[in-house]
Amino acid sequence: MPKTIIGETFEQLGKTAGQMVKQAVKEPGKMAEKAVGQIGLKPQPPEEKPQEALSTKISQEKERERRRRLALLQKEIKALQEKRTQELPKQITGKPGFSEEKAIKQLKEEEESKDKKPMEPLPVQRAKRKTEMFRGVSG
């Protein structure tokens, strides 16, 4: 029995010490609140307006930069278009007597020829080259 009494006593003392620590931690906050209440001041929450103003300012700055870059690109595109219209058609195509119909016809023929002759696998191509190289005198 004495062991249980001693254990219960220590347990009660531990709880009491824990409660005292909790009160000691809470007490300064309560005292500050009481002092503010007696003086008549209200605690003000921290303002977030400077951060919001800064973020809006940054976003506006990014928008201005984006618009400036867009205007610059548009000017470059217009300059290239004007340059292209001023060039002679022969300079654009690189060949005298260029016609769009002939170019279209050539492209269609190239596509058809590609469709007709499928490429052989790479090992087959290599084997053909070897046989061509080593035929020798006989053939």
For the stretch 24-83, pLDDT in tens is: 777 777 777 777 777 766 656 555 567 777 888 888 999 999 999 999 999 999 998 888
Q: In 40-136, which ranges are continuous DSSP H helix?
A: 49-86, 89-93, 100-116, 122-133
Q: What is the pLDDT of residue 47?
A: 56
Amino acid at 92: I
pLDDT above 70 (res 88): no
Residue 60 tokens, joined: 């506006």
Task: Give CA–CA dist 57/63, Å, rounded.
Answer: 10
Task: Give CA–CA dist 20/26, Å, rounded.
Answer: 10
Q: 93: how many CB neighbours lie within 10 A of its CB?
A: 13
Task: Give CA–CA dist 99/89, Å, rounded.
Answer: 10
